[in-house]
């Protein structure tokens, strides 16, 4: 798919209703080279965005003590943050598919900046909720359009581009607990305000990407109307999207159990210090980053369906063992769990974009939004369960979630199916 097609207002057709294509529309433009400079820039923007986002769960122990919160209140913070990060994303994607907004990336980072300042000076729990809401809105604006930029800059290597883009976010998420440990936790809540300067740097990086995006669209000239045809029938398309949704649900509900509660789990179960618990979280998040960078290129080479199948179901032995492991093996097990689970998401995004061509922003917004929404709801529910039982019980019930990966057997192999028209 060319860069021109990514920014043109799309119209989706399936086998049942695809119009005939004109010769001009059917002629594919020459493949353009991968714009690695832009991919690195958008990945750096993603790194900054997700590092600032990850400050929220990383400072939960501080907030829990300062505001005397129970696990349910901590879970509701995550619910509020990820709900605002999810509910707007499909709407942003639908809008920007029709009306691309090159500088919305910098605007989203501005919302995150405001949220950080509010959290730094929040006098009560209600203002904490307002702060995390602004941070969530910033994320909801950022992801759909940045995913489009990654595809535009891919030169046809969509899996690689998606992995480069997403690994920036995962690295940022891994760094978040470390900077919280080094800066926020020793100096208190007000130290969050220092990260507003990092958000300002992020706005500059993303503004530069916005200028490239705008120039790319202007250079493309007038767009030729195209009918974007799915390689599968409408019935198979609907079924496949539902299956992908179930896989994202299992993946992110389990991942949020680790990202939100792993520190509490190791502190309570193994009586380790808060600093050591933050290191445990960093190890897991670093493994997530490694899995993300691997998933896209592997999907380009062997097919995304195979990556999705393995990355969801293949993690099951490790998750089943985790509730019974000692501290050493808990650390070891979180590494393959993070790597294997994270390899799925780049493959899922590109696989869905291939099934629904011409709807890059909508697909990205839908799946990023659904992922964050499931994470938020899951964090709140798991927090309530932990309050009434224990953190250990939470990991016991979550350990079976990857079994939902068996549904990957229902995914069609789109590589073997030509576009239907």
Q: Which two tokens stand for residue 303?
A: 């097919």
Domain ranges of the chain: 34-218+229-415
- From 9-18, 42-51, 77-86, the region with the lowest mean pLDDT: 9-18
- In this prediction, residue 22 has a pLDDT band, given cuts at 50, 70 and 90, of very low
What is the per-residue pLDDT across 51-71, written as a single tens digit (0 to 9) for each? 998 788 778 888 888 888 887
Contact 295, 233 (CB under 8 A): no
Q: Which two tokens stand for residue 196?
A: 């507003």
Residue 201 confidence (pLDDT): 94
Listed in sequence order, the DSSP H helices in 8-103 are 23-26, 36-58, 60-66, 71-87, 89-98
d(CA 231, CA 249): 25
Q: Which class would CATH give 34-218+229-415? A: mainly alpha
d(CA 372, CA 82): 5
What is the per-residue pLDDT across 219-273, written as a single tens digit (0 to 9) for each? 766 554 454 567 778 888 889 888 998 888 888 888 888 887 888 889 988 998 8
Residue 325 confidence (pLDDT): 93
Secondary structure of residue 226 in the 3-state scheme: coil
Contact 312, 404 (CB under 8 A): yes
What is the per-residue pLDDT across 179-202, written as a single tens digit (0 to 9) for each? 888 888 888 888 899 999 999 999
Its pTM stands at 0.66
Residue 11 confidence (pLDDT): 41
Residue 228 confidence (pLDDT): 58
Residue 375 confidence (pLDDT): 67
DSSP 84-141: HHHHTHHHHHHHHHHS--TTHHHHHHHHHHHHHHHHHH--SHHHHHHHHHHHHHHHHH
Residue 376 confidence (pLDDT): 65
Tell which residue, 120, 146, 141, 128, has the closest CA to residue 81: 128
How many whole angstroms from its chain centre is CA 67? 29
Note the maximum CA span of the chain: 69
Residue partners of 362: CB distance under 8 A and separation at least 6: 90, 93, 94, 97, 144, 356
């Amino acid at each position: 798919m060319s860069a021109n097609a990514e920014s043109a207002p799309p119209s989706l057709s399936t086998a049942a209703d695809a119009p005939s294509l004109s010769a001009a529309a059917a002629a594919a433009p020459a493949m353009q080279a991968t714009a690695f400079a832009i991919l690195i820039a958008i990945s750096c923007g993603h790194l900054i965005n997700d590092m600032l986002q990850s400050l929220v769960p990383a400072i939960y122990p501080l907030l829990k003590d300062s505001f005397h919160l129970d696990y349910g209140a901590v879970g509701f913070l995550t619910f509020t943050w990820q709900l605002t990060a999810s509910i707007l994303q499909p709407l942003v994607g639908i809008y920007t598919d029709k009306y691309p907004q090159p500088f919305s990336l910098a605007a989203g980072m501005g919302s995150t900046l405001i949220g950080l300042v509010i959290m730094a000076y929040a006098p009560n729990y209600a203002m904490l909720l307002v702060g995390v809401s602004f941070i969530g809105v910033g994320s909801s604006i950022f992801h759909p359009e940045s995913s489009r930029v990654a595809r535009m800059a891919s030169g046809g290597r969509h899996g690689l581009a998606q992995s480069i883009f997403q690994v920036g976010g995962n690295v940022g998420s891994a760094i978040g607990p470390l900077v919280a440990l080094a800066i926020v936790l020793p100096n208190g809540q007000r130290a969050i305000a220092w990260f507003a300067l990092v958000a300002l740097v992020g706005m500059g990086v993303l503004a530069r990407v916005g200028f490239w995006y705008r120039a790319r669209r202007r250079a493309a000239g007038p767009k030729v109307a195209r009918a974007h045809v799915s390689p599968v029938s409408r019935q198979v398309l609907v079924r496949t999207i539902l299956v992908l949704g179930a896989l994202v649900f299992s993946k992110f509900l389990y991942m949020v159990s680790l990202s939100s509660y792993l520190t509490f789990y190791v502190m309570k179960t193994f009586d380790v210090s808060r600093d050591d618990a933050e290191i445990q979280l960093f190890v897991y998040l670093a493994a997530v980053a490694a899995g993300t960078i691997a998933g896209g290129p592997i999907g380009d080479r062997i097919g995304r369906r195979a990556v999705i199948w393995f990355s969801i179901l293949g993690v099951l032995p490790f998750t089943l063992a985790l509730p019974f492991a000692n501290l050493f093996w808990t650390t070891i097990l979180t590494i393959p769990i993070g790597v294997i689970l994270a390899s799925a998401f780049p493959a899922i995004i590109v696989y869905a974009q291939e099934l629904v061509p011409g709807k890059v922003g909508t697909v990205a917004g839908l799946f990023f939004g659904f992922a964050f929404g499931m994470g938020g709801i899951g964090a709140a529910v798991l927090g309530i369960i932990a309050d009434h039982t224990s953190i250990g019980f939470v990991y016991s019930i979550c350990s079976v979630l990857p079994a939902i990966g068996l549904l990957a057997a229902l995914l069609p192999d789109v590589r073997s199916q030509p576009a239907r028209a």
